[in-house]
Amino acid sequence: MIGAHDLGGKAGFSSVAVTTESSEVLFHNEWERRAFALTLATGMLGQWNIDESRHARENQEPNRYLSNSYYETWMVGLQTLLAQKGLVAPHEIAALPKAETLAMPAQAKVELAEGLSARTPAQAAAALRRGGPTAMETDAVPRFSLGERVRVLPMTQAGHTRAPQYTHGASGVITAYNGVHIFPDANAHRTSGADTVGEPLYTVEFSSVELFGAVSQPGDSVFVDLWEPYLSYA
């Protein structure tokens, strides 16, 4: 999706603040911790996948996206999904508190829709440890080979895509074939009961000058993982 969320490599947004992992603050306020927990807990109800979740966060009015904090955007995405899946009514969404005032008693009783069941803490911990593997077993033959030069297609379509905009139209070299993985673009819009779509995934090496022009350091390389539908022969 070409939108406000795709800021990588764009000028005008200042430099990236580099911090060490030990100094990184996970939550700046208590409501952010609750937003994170709510998102994980509702996601474990199995009503949407991770790509739907990402798309719901990205697909909001650009000015709102740019003015939101990180976890405010998470709450926008969560509210969108809850409404789309019929888990809350529109008037209930309208009555929700603003993210920065989000509060809920620690032992609040939650009423689930019929047919849904919440994970126990032990089940949730086990699910998080397992993660969500995306690799798919398939006999598909990759279109591109190691060492071939490819170009990223210029993409202007709406919808979900995991090809960063700064790579669109750029050419690079295939350095690795990573097998077939769930294709996020299709997975974000997959209807209930539909088959999961898989696509070959490659690592492509780009010259930094190819991506960022004169502001980059000649001789530097940038490696990006890209799905086959994004690529053509250069």
Query: Do 126 and 153 share a domain, yes or no?
Result: no
Query: Do 30 and 102 share a domain, yes or no?
Result: yes
Residue 71 in tokens: 């976890």
4 vs 127 pLDDT, higher one? 127
Q: State residue 167's pLDDT score.
A: 92
Query: Do 70 and 170 share a domain, yes or no?
Result: no
Amino acid at 35: A
Round to whole Å and give the CA distance between 39 and 53: 9
Count of structural domains within the chain: 2
The stretches of the chain forming alpha helices (DSSP H) are: 30-43, 50-58, 62-67, 70-84, 90-94, 121-130, 184-187, 208-212
Q: For the segment 158-172, what is each residue's pLDDT rounded down to a tens digit?
A: 666 788 888 999 999
Round to whole Å and give the CA distance between 190 and 196: 8
DSSP type of residue 135: B
Q: State residue 43's pLDDT score.
A: 92
Stated pTM of the model: 0.80
- 106 pLDDT band (50/70/90 cuts)? very low
Residue 182 in tokens: 């769930």
Query: Do 112 and 194 share a domain, yes or no?
Result: no
Q: Does 184 reside within a domain? A: yes
Q: State residue 227's pLDDT score.
A: 95
Residue 193 in tokens: 């009961």
Query: Do 122 and 210 share a domain, yes or no?
Result: no
Q: Does 3 reside within a domain? A: no
What CATH number is attached to the domain comprising 185?
2.30.30.50
Q: Does 54 reside within a domain? A: yes
Query: Do 180 and 107 share a domain, yes or no?
Result: no
Round to whole Å and give the CA distance between 113 and 45: 10
For the chain, give the percent of residues with pLDDT over 70: 84
Q: State residue 104's pLDDT score.
A: 42
Burial class (CB in 10 A: 0-12, 13-18, 19+), 124: middle
What CATH number is attached to the domain comprising 55?
1.10.472.20
Q: State residue 1's pLDDT score.
A: 52
Query: Do 105 and 165 share a domain, yes or no?
Result: no
Pairing assessment for the beta strands 149-152 and 198-207 based on DSSP bridges: unpaired
- 10 pLDDT band (50/70/90 cuts)? low
What does the pLDDT average to over 35-49?
92
Range of the domain at 114: 21-130
Q: State residue 189's pLDDT score.
A: 87
Query: Do 124 and 175 share a domain, yes or no?
Result: no
Query: Do 34 and 120 share a domain, yes or no?
Result: yes
Round to whole Å and give the CA distance between 216 and 207: 9
> What is the crossing angle of helices 30-43 and 70-84, to 10°?
30
